[in-house]
Chains A and B, each alone.
Chain A
Amino acid sequence: MVPLILLVGRYLRPANPDPKKLSTYECGELPKGNSWVQFNLRFYVIAILFLIFDVEIAFMFPVAVTFRQWVTSSQAKGVLIFSEIILFIAILLIGFVYAWTKGDFEWIKGLQKKQIDPRFRGDDLK
């Protein structure tokens, strides 16, 4: 689909490139350096957490599908499957609470922990 649209467009639209037009857009300034530099992968921890949660959810789906059937069939089966779900989630939640208390969900974690130089704290302004 996309190649088709772009192909149709190719014969309709103008194409007169020049080096300035093809340069990287940085609000009209000349671009400084390459943007493929080392950057702080802040969401690295979040990505790992996401992976764990997503796998958990994927494993929960088969349970969820049979859940209704078990619950409506008998009381004992319902209690059994309910306690299984609770156990499954509880194991994950322990890790979740650990990550929370470690402060992994704070985007500006690195900045908060840094000690501020007392000279710049502004105490002497008072």
Chain B
Amino acid sequence: MTSLPEFLKELFESWPLLGILPVWFYSIVAIFGLLFLFLFPFAGVAVYVERKIAGDIQARIGPNVVGPYGILQWIADALKLLLKEDIIPTNADKKLFILSPMLIFISGACAYAVIPFADNVILANLNIGIFYLLAITSMVTLGLILGGWASNNKWSLLGGLRAAAQVVSYEIPVALSILTVVLVTGTLDMAQIVKMQGPFYWNIFHNPFLFISACIYYIAALAEANRTPFDIPEADSELVSGYNTEYSGMRFAIFFLIEYAECFIICAVATTLFLGGWHLPFFDLSSLTLGLRIPLQIMVFMTKSILLLLTMMWIRWTLPRYRVDQLMKLCWEVFVPFSFACLIGTAFWMVLFKGKGIPELILGLFVS
């Protein structure tokens, strides 16, 4: 069980020049590789796919001018945003205005450190991985409220306040459903959580309570990332664009990029915690050779995450927006009690069946 930099180091040990390079070199390579080869293009392509899906759902064509089927649209968008004038309003609090996108970027990008794409392909194999993730994603709130406040604009301020209240409230159901998983797996290590699940024993099938808490996690995480139907902080029709009304050009692009990056993090975490990470049912990938295993595992992991991401986009263009008071009510009076019930239910199940899940129990029937 090693992290990606150490794994790369081991892999290139026998090579003439690459073998003598220290671990920190590999970690820098890995970080930049992840940022430039995965995060930025992925967010761009996600925007393109989302626009295409929106087009399909609303019986339009969607982007179709730049490149075949408009597939290069995201590059054009990125270039356009880079070349746009950067406006900082005279009334704004300049320092905080500049700080806000940076904070959001830091918290969004740092969360990628503990996503286990495959066996050994994890940037930092922390033994408190999921706890770290909870902590680092909470920092987004800080960025949002700072951005909303510093803009000195009524829309932004209202958006920032709503975002703070919403993200903070939905943090609790999210944390509680993660806690439920931790009860079952008994570890906070992301790679270990995936290893525990094996090809058959996915956490979502462990017991009925975990199934409910997986649903709660997905919905509450949607709200945490300010996605429709919970996008009241940036409700276009009432608040213009919420906390990022005053941002333009590249600064706006950062907000946008991190929104999509965060959506992927949510899906990746859901995959890791509930859907067995890189495991395929009925087929043990770990018996394959190294060269075949790692690409396959990454593909399985990405397929699961992207299916969840597409569901997210589907939800966005299908459901109407919630009202602020309904949103708070939904969180505190439905999700929090239910996730507590799931927590206690799972704990009870664990005591009753000595930690065995439904698949294990069924398998036990056949063996005996």
Contacts and interface: CB of A to CB of B under 8 A. Distances in A.
Interface of A: 1-3, 5-6, 8-10, 12-17, 19, 21-27, 31, 34-36, 39, 41-43, 46-47, 49-50, 53-54, 57, 60-61, 64-69, 71-72, 75, 78-79, 82, 85-86, 89, 93, 96, 100, 105-108
Contacts, number: 171
Contact of B328 (A9, A22, A46): A46
A21 B249 CA distance: 14
A10 B85 CA distance: 9
| 5 A-B pairs with least C-beta separation | A68-B186, A43-B165, A107-B325, A64-B182, A105-B332
B321 interface: no
A82 B351 contact: yes
A96 B340 CA distance: 11
Q: Summarize A's interface: helix, strand, loop or mixed.
A: helix
Nearest to B172: A53
A1 to B, nearest CB: 6
B169 A50 contact: yes
Contacts of B250: 5-6, 9
Contacts of B105: 1-2
A49 B325 CA distance: 17
A82 B348 contact: yes
Given A1-B109, A43-B168, A12 B183 contact: no
Interface residues of B, number: 65
B12 to A, nearest CB: 26
Contacts of B245: 25
B173 to A, nearest CB: 10
Nearest to A57: B175
B168 A39 contact: no
A57 B153 CA distance: 35
B172 A107 contact: no
Contact of A65 (B101, B186, B240): B186
18 contacts: A5-B254, A9-B86, A9-B249, A22-B90, A24-B153, A35-B153, A39-B161, A43-B161, A43-B168, A46-B328, A54-B172, A61-B131, A65-B188, A67-B186, A72-B354, A75-B351, A82-B351, A86-B344
A52 to B, nearest CB: 10
A57 B86 contact: no
Contacts of B152: 24, 34-36
Given A22-B87, A64-B179, A85 B344 contact: yes
B165 A19 contact: no
A9 B182 contact: no
Interface in B321-357: 324-325, 328-329, 332-333, 336, 340, 343-344, 347-348, 350-351, 354-355
B187 A89 contact: no
Contacts of B172: 50, 53-54, 57
Given A34-B152, A54-B175, A68-B185, A107 B240 contact: no
Contacts of A27: 240
B157 interface: yes
Interface in B292-334: 324-325, 328-329, 332-333
Nearest to A111: B325
A93 B82 contact: no
A68 to B, nearest CB: 3
Contacts of B188: 61, 65
A13 B86 contact: yes
A19 B185 contact: no
B183 A46 contact: no
B28 to A, nearest CB: 13
Contacts of B254: 2, 5
B66 interface: no
Interface string B119-142: 000000000000100000000000
A98 to B, nearest CB: 13
A23 B182 contact: no
Nearest to A64: B182
Given A1-B35, A107-B324, A67 B350 contact: yes
B328 A19 contact: no
Contacts of A14: 83, 85
Given A16-B85, A24-B151, 12 more contacts: A2-B254, A15-B85, A24-B89, A24-B246, A25-B246, A42-B165, A46-B169, A64-B182, A64-B186, A65-B186, A69-B186, A82-B348
